[in-house]
Structure 1
């Protein structure tokens, strides 16, 4: 095999291996699920609770 064919074959093999690494990462990384799923309802509850906690008490009625 001459050098040009060897370079082409090695480039193809390295490209395939490089692609397979990212394909495997795409399947493996999303498996880590968040135990506390963020839904719109829970986010709104946290925001409203934070607003209620940060709000100063109303002035006394006179």
Structure 2
């Protein structure tokens, strides 16, 4: 029994699937670490009796954080 060669559409579907999986992992990692950073910053701000202001942009997965007294 020999190995079956993949056709071009099969190869493309494998490549597209891998790209989607990798992109999903990277986006999920970015969201996870952003939430961890915001949690740590919030705790520090609350320890200083500050007021938290967070603005999040979901298009580029970015945020701005400020701690105002």
Deviation for aligned residue 1:2: 1.0
Q: Which residue of 2 aligns with 1:8?
A: 13
**Shift of residue 14, structure 1, vs aligned partner:** 0.5
Query: Which of the pair has more CA radius of gyration?
Result: 1
What is the TM-score normalised by the length of structure 2? 0.50
Query: In the TM superposition, what is the alpha-carbon distance from 1:28 to its structure 2 partner?
Result: 1.0
TM-score normalised according to structure 1 size:
0.54
Higher RCO by CA contacts (8 Å cutoff, separation 6 or greater): 2
The structure richer in strand per residue is 2
Q: Which has the higher helix share?
A: 1
SS at match of 2:45: coil
Runs ≥4 residues deviating over 2 A: none
Superposition CA RMSD, Å: 1.7
Name structure 2 gaps, 5 residues minimum. 1-5, 53-67
